[in-house]
Amino acid sequence: MIKVDVKGCSSFVKDEQYQAYVAKAFDAFDVLKNESGAGNDFLGWKKLPRQITERELHDYEAIRDKWMKKGVDLVIAIGIGGSYLGAKCVLEALSHNFAKQLKRKDAPEVVFAGNNLSEEYLAELMDLASERNVACIVISKSGTTTEPAVAFRIVKQFLESRYGKAEAADRIVAITDARKGALKTLATQENYESFVVPDNVGGRFSVLTPVGLLPICVAGFDINALVAGALDAMKGLEIKSEKNPAIIYAAMRNCLFKELGKSTEILVNYNPKLTYVAEWWKQLYGESEGKEGTGIFPASVNNTADLHSMGQFIQEGTRIMFETVLHVDNAQRSMVIEQDPQNLDQLNYLAGQHVEHCNHMAELGTQIAHIDGGVPQMAVTMEKVDAFNLGGLLYFFEFACGISAYILGVNPFNQPGVEAYKKNMFALLEKPGYEEATKAIKERL
Ligand code: PA5
């Protein structure tokens, strides 16, 4: 079970101040539970852990098995934003740090594309593809997003010229809307195996739909455990109580924002495998809360590395932030510091200690230093970084996000601001239909 500790905020906010936000969190919890708030037609994610069937999980496993029989060793997962970050964060968290170098072959390697428009990236991806046995998962809920569409056109042409049209179609799975969008049309016409992103689940809440589950499964990870962890967390999160970790987290972050003006939240990790959990979290909170001139800016650091770069600013720079530390109780590997007879590095005082003990002391020491420097501290604790605990963590953050955004008074489930750049990009690219916008934007250059 995920735990949230807010002791590191106690010297900054009075208990009465915090309790006022717990009361707001209770109201927001009811709105989320009763589905009576803004964006309530996008609450499908809430029920996913209970709704996912064994059959569905088996369908994903069947694709992995089919591709493995063909000898596929590289799967290109194409998508951006919510159609990318959930799978990426789980894969990064569950993979061996040196999986690429170790070249383990128990499942295909999954790489990502369609999350940028870099020509170099795509050309170099094709360098890799040309040496490997390739399949592709193309993901776009709307089916119309430019970045994945560009990447898919290139990958599709590569697969068709390498394997022929029929075999290429057997190596492509599309995940998109049930009815509309260019990807849906293409998938139907080309007869790709397809999965649906439910209408009532937004991109950033879609990690427990095929959007996240298929790439994670194809990469050889335990989606049953991921879903079981989410379900386990869900049972605790559904209870309206001041001990509910989502209520504590949502209440305190809003209290710090509104009462102290702490407008930046830094998600801190002490394990490189969690770097992309922060990237996923940034999208979840950034897109859900950053609108109507409000919202807490989500940032992240990877410690202890960033203590040697961002640490200075966090300790002494502009006092705009609070931190939420992702604390992991137990490392899953063991590495003990040995005695050295010469002790030239003067580390013998640590002989016999686990490296993770040093990591935990760095974490604790940093939290105390940052409190002294005026940066309130929260901690979100998970037992270990495995599929079960990760499922719980992701569901916790989603649930807390719904509550937090409702406390803030915004619709957590839309993202109107994302359209602004697209309109300009299409105008500059002279997309048919954008003639007037093209003229207008060119006059501004
Ligand atoms: O959270 C969201 O809805 C967005 O970030 C989308 O996931 C992102 O824009 C990709 O959209 P699509 O899956 O429609 O290509």
The per-residue DSSP string of 367-430 comes to: HHHHHHTT--EEEEEES-SSHHHHHHHHHHHHHHHHHHHHHHTS-TT--GGGHHHHHHHHHHTT
Mean pLDDT of 360-387: 98
pLDDT score for 103: 81
pLDDT, mean of residues 207-223 = 98
Query: β-pairing, 193-196 with 172-176?
Result: parallel
Q: How far is the CA of 372 from the centre of ligand 1 (A)?
A: 40
Best CA proximity match to 413, nearest among 10, 19, 31: 31
Per-residue pLDDT tens digits for 19-76: 999 999 999 999 999 999 999 999 999 999 999 999 999 999 999 999 999 999 999 9
pLDDT of residue 106: 86
> For residue 412, what are the CA distances in angstroms to 249, 269, 282?
16, 25, 14
Is there a single domain that holds both residue 67 and residue 32?
no
Q: Where are the beta strands (DSSP E) in 150-218?
A: 172-176, 193-196
Looking at the chain, the whole-number percentage of residues with pLDDT higher than 70 is 100
Instruction: Indicate whether residue 86 lines ligand 1 (CB < 6 A).
Output: no
The one-letter amino acid at 62: A
Quick one: 250 and 368 in the same domain? yes
Dist. CA 177–CA 264, nearest whole Å = 34
Respond yes or no: is residue 287 known to be catalytic: yes
Q: Is a pLDDT exceeding 80 seen at residue 207?
A: yes
Whether 212 and 74 map to the same domain: the answer is: yes
Distance of CA 83 from the midpoint of ligand 1 (Å): 6
What's residue 1's pLDDT? 84
What percentage of the chain has pLDDT greater than the value 90? 97
pLDDT at residue number 52 = 96
| DSSP state at residue 207 | T
If you take atom 5 of ligand 1, which residue's CA is the nearest one? 81
Whether residue 431 is predicted with pLDDT greater than 90 in this model: the reply is yes
- For residues 195 and 94, membership in a common domain is answered with yes
211 lines ligand 1 (CB under 6 A): no
- Which candidate in 7, 58, 165, 422 is catalytic? 422
pLDDT for the residue numbered 304: 98
Predicted confidence (pLDDT) at residue 191 exceeds the cutoff of 80: yes
Is 115 near ligand 1, meaning CB less than 6 Å away?
no
The tally of domains found in the chain comes to 2
In terms of Cβ atoms closer than 10 Å to its own Cβ (0-12, 13-18, 19+), residue 72 is buried
pLDDT score at 105 = 77
For the Cβ of 81 lying below 6 angstroms from any atom of ligand 1, the answer is yes
**pLDDT exceeds 80 at position 300:** yes
- Expressed in angstroms and rounded, the spacing between residue 84 Cα and the centre of ligand 1 is 9
Q: Say if 111 falls within a structural domain.
A: yes
Query: 70-109: per-residue pLDDT in tens?
Result: 999 999 999 999 999 999 999 999 999 999 899 877 899 9
From ligand 1's centre to the CA of 390, what distance in Å? 22
Residue 14 placed within a domain = yes
Catalytic residue check, 422: yes
Q: Are 166 and 178 in contact (CB under 8 A)?
A: no
Section 329-336 average pLDDT: 97
Mean pLDDT of the chain: 97
Residues 58 and 204 in one domain: yes
Q: Give the model confidence (pLDDT) of 173-183 as tens digits.
A: 999 999 999 99
Reply yes or no on whether the pLDDT at 426 is more than 80.
yes
In a domain, 15, yes or no: yes
Question: For residue 323, what is the enclosing H or E element?
Answer: strand 321-328
Q: Residue 92 falls within a domain, yes or no?
A: yes
pTM of the model: 0.97
* Cα of 391 from ligand 1 centre, angstroms: 21
CATH number for position 250: 3.40.50.10490
Report how far residue 32's alpha carbon sits from residue 325's, in angstroms, rounded to the nearest whole number.
26
204 lines ligand 1 (CB under 6 A): yes
* Residue 157: predicted pLDDT: 98
Answer whether 288 contacts ligand 1 (Cβ < 6 A): no
| Domain with 26 in it | 3-37+229-411
Span 407-415, average pLDDT: 97
Are 30 and 61 members of one domain?
Answer: no
